[in-house]
Amino acid sequence: MTLTTLLAQLPSALRKLDPRHLWRSPVMFIVWIGSVMTTVIAIADPSAFAWTITVWLWLTVVFGNLAEAVAEGRGKAQAASLRAARTDVSALRLLPDGTEETVAGTELRVGDLVIVQAGEVVPGDGDVVEGVASVDESAITGESAPVIREAGGDRSAVTGGTKVLSDQITVKITSAPGETFLDRMIALVEGASRRKTPNEIALSILLVSLTIVFVLAVVTLKPMADYAGAPQDTLVLIALLVCLIPTTIGALLSAIGIAGMDRLVRVNVLAMSGRAVEAAGDVSTLLLDKTGTITYGNRRASRLVPAAGVTQDEMRDAARLSSLADLTPEGRSIVELALAEGAPAEVATDGATFVEFTAQTRMSGVDLASGRAVRKGAGGSIAAWGGGVPDDVRATIDEISGSGGTPLVVAEQTDGVTRVLGTVHLKDVVKEGMVERFAELRRMGIRTVMITGDNPLTAAAIAKEAGVDDFLAEATPEDKMRLIHQEQEGGRLVAMTGDGTNDAPALAAADVGVAMNSGTSAAKEAGNMVDLDSDPTKLIDIVGIGKQLLITRGALTTFSIANDVAKYFAIIPAMFLVAYPSLDRLNVMHLATPQSAILSAVIFNALVIVALIPLALKGVAYRAASAAAILRRNILVYGVGGVVAPFVGIKLIDLIVSTIPGIG
């Protein structure tokens, strides 16, 4: 954050001086009232001290508003780019009698069917009910690569403002104008629909309580000071009150919450409420789908096991030959593995006849011009084709199956003689880095549960390889709901991802439900977050951002309360030094005069808000650790730092203000 950024948001901060806005932050509203009172006092009895105190009290309010204005400014910049994607377009509406009519996009209603052709913009949120098309969603997600949207399944949702690049689709509108996904997203990132979260409300109550305590203390201090023969000016008492109440966290509290949601937007996640962001920080159980989240989603060839008497090179080259006509992801992965193990880049197939893989034959291969035939397929299919499978190969098949993998047998025939060459081991490949990420979650105290439709044997093998804590095999929607309720009954907060209509009940039941943007409208409506990139592993980042939000709020609250200590040593001795000279022993900073001491504390109180704005917006760095370790670090860094920093800051400011005539 630069000085230019602060200056750009200064007009917005000045507009927030309206008391109708400030009353929502009781701490800063008290400072505003104090500023008004000191202004009246300075006008009635002008002096350099009175006007300087007044100016810095007003700056305290402005700086507090500036923190919120900068945080909102980031959201407005994001909203501006989103608003550019929201265009007024016409739509080709399909009527019940089968005819078509062209209407403005704003006239569409929920349930309308519209036809969108290549080159046209989708006029509103909806689900594809007919056809398949390539869609450019870069205006929403920022990703330039187009995505496929098709009728049926879990990738049917389209968003208004995106552009169809190919083919034609029929879309059923699911959101009314003004209530579309893009409209809600703009309102949220601008902060227009942001509400205080339960933790914010609780902290606000604490800050108000502390403020009331200090107001009562300062009010009762005046008659006590008069009785002790050390009468105090109202100006000084107001300065004391402003320095003692928790103005720092009071000014930054709103900015911290806005910045937390902004950080999610920056990683292309839209939180439907601040409550969801906070809940992510307290999550103790993560439910993750296996396919596409933990694994790549398609089985891949992991190793080639030659049969007895067959060399590795023979097995490798035969596996590649037999897979050239297999265009499935599994077939392509066998070719890639063979090339990675040193197979020649080119292979002679002149005059060859390729046999494509089919679900009926469960085999693929090639018949070479030399009379040699090579096949790859399921063990039973190869046995039927070639007349049997050797015992050593059958043992390999059983070993691969027992580990949760899929075995494919490779064989060749020459002059009617069949020779089984070996076995290809297919398995769900765990994504790179997942083991480390799950280990990090474990250090954060979060339990991970893999959800899959696989049988328990396969699920157990993948869970062990990925490093998850537990798994739910052969899971149905009811099983997911049962698991979520079971975790919640144990006092744990649960997060999960989903993209299908069958995931909607579980997404709604979870404390943090992250719906994929590519999924159905039902899933996006049920979740309280939407991942615009449709990357299920983003859930791990969401948890980190949630924890960072909570830690930042706790750290700055600790700092705000701790830095009042130095102000006691600056103001209290200065107020009563004339009546009680012995209080000079408490002037540990050796401040020049009572007036410079009070003014230095007020100036520091204002400047520390500006100094902490970057930290409030960026967030305190989060590292996986136990709650006790995080608390200890907060106390050592922000508690001790909050005590020490004001002593240094107030002393440096005093060296400057003590040179001002009428104050020093």
Q: Report pLDDT for 82.
A: 59
Give me the pLDDT at residue 154, please: 62
Give the domain ranges of the chain: 3-77+188-264+544-658, 90-123+125-174, 271-294+431-532, 300-389+400-417
Q: Residue 359, annotated ligand binder?
A: yes
Does residue 361 have a known ligand-binding role?
yes
Domain 300-389+400-417 annotated CATH 3.40.718.10 = no
CATH number 3.40.50.300 is the correct assignment for the domain at 271-294+431-532: no
User: Which H or E run includes 148?
Assistant: strand 147-150
pLDDT (0 to 100) of residue 409: 92
428 is an annotated ligand-binding site residue: no
Model pLDDT, residue 65: 87
Assess contact for 286 and 567: CB atoms under 8 A: no
Establish whether 330 is an annotated binding residue: yes
Q: Is 358 annotated as a binding residue?
A: yes
Question: Distance (Å, rounded) from C-alpha 284 to C-alpha 539?
Answer: 13
Residues of the chain with pLDDT under 70: 1-3, 74-88, 139-145, 153-154, 181-182, 184-197, 274, 292, 297-298, 359, 536, 578, 662, 664
Any binding-site annotation on 340? no
CA distance 52 to 601: 12
Q: Is 538 a known ligand-binding residue?
A: no
Question: Which residues have C-beta within 8 Å of that of residue 62, sequence separation ≥ 6?
Answer: 10, 13, 14, 17
Residue by residue, DSSP assigns 600-618 as HHHHHHHHHHHHHHHHHHH
499 is in an annotated binding site: yes
pLDDT at 54: 94
Domains 90-123+125-174 and 300-389+400-417 share a fold: no
pLDDT tens column, 461-491? 888 888 899 998 888 878 888 899 998 888 8
Residue 574, marked binder: no
Asked whether residue 511 is marked as a ligand-binding residue, the answer is: no
pTM score > 0.95 for this model?
A: no
125, 127, 136, 289: the catalytic one is 289
Pick the CATH number of 90-123+125-174 from 3.40.50.720, 2.70.150.10, 3.30.200.20, 2.60.40.1120: 2.70.150.10
At 192 the pLDDT is: 45
48-85 vs 594-618: helix crossing angle, rounded to 10 = 10
Q: Which residues pair with residue 92 across a beta bridge? A: 102, 115
- To the nearest 10 degrees (0 to 180), the angle between helices 538-562 and 274-281 is 90
Question: Which pLDDT score is estimated for 402?
Answer: 77
Whether residue 584 lies in the annotated active site: no
| Model pLDDT for residues 5-24, shown as the tens digit of each residue | 777 778 888 888 888 888 88
Supply the pLDDT for residue 590.
80
Q: In what order do the strands lie in the sheet with 163-164?
A: 147-150, 132-136, 163-164
Nearest to 108 by CA among 86, 96, 92, 132: 92
Q: What is the pLDDT of residue 469?
A: 92
